[in-house]
Amino acid sequence: MAGQLIVFEGIEGAGKTTQLQRAATWLRSQLTVPVLTSREPGGTFLGQQLRSLLLDVRQQDEIEPRAELLLYAADRAQHVEQYLKPNLAQGAIILCDRYTDSTLAYQGYGRQLELGLIEHLNAIASGGLTPNLTFWLDLDPEIGLQRITERGAPNRLEQEALDFHQRVREGYMTLAQNHPQRIIRLDANTAADDLEQEIRTILQTRLSETGYESFSKNFSKNFSKNFSKN
Ligand code: TYD
pLDDT along the chain (230 residues), means of 10: 94 95 97 96 98 85 93 98 98 98 98 98 98 98 92 84 95 98 97 98 95 59 37
One-letter amino acid for residue 39 of the chain: R
**Residue 96 to residue 35: CA distance in whole angstroms:** 11
Spell out the long-range contacts of 120-127 with Cβ–Cβ below 8 A and sequence spacing 24 or more: 121/69, 121/70, 121/73, 122/73, 122/76, 124/73, 124/77, 125/72, 125/73, 125/74, 125/76, 125/77, 125/80, 125/100, 126/76, 126/77, 126/80, 126/99, 126/100, 127/77, 127/80, 127/81, 127/85
Nearest residue (by CA) to ligand 1, atom 6, is: 12
Cβ–ligand 1 contact at 83 (below 6 Å) = no
Query: What global pTM score does this model have?
Result: 0.92
Number of the ligand 1 atom closest to the C-alpha atom of 10: 7
Alpha-carbon torsion, ordered 181, 110, 160, 155, to 10 deg: 50
Atom of ligand 1 nearest to the CA of 99: 24
Q: What is the pLDDT of residue 230?
A: 37
Cβ–Cβ < 8 Å for 80, 24: no
Which pLDDT score is estimated for 155?
A: 84
Closest residue by Cα to residue 198 from 131, 132, 137: 137
Ligand 1 centre to CA of 98 (Å) is 7
What pLDDT score was predicted for residue 224? 36
- CA-to-CA distance for 127 and 76, rounded, in angstroms? 9
pLDDT of residue 214: 62
Q: What residues contact 1, with CB distance under 8 A and at least 6 apart?
A: 91, 211, 221
Report which protein residue has its CA nearest ligand 1's atom 2.
155
- Using the 8-state DSSP alphabet, how is residue 80 labeled? I
Is residue 18 within 6 Å of ligand 1 at its C-beta?
no
In ligand 1, the atom with minimum distance to the C-alpha of 73 is 22
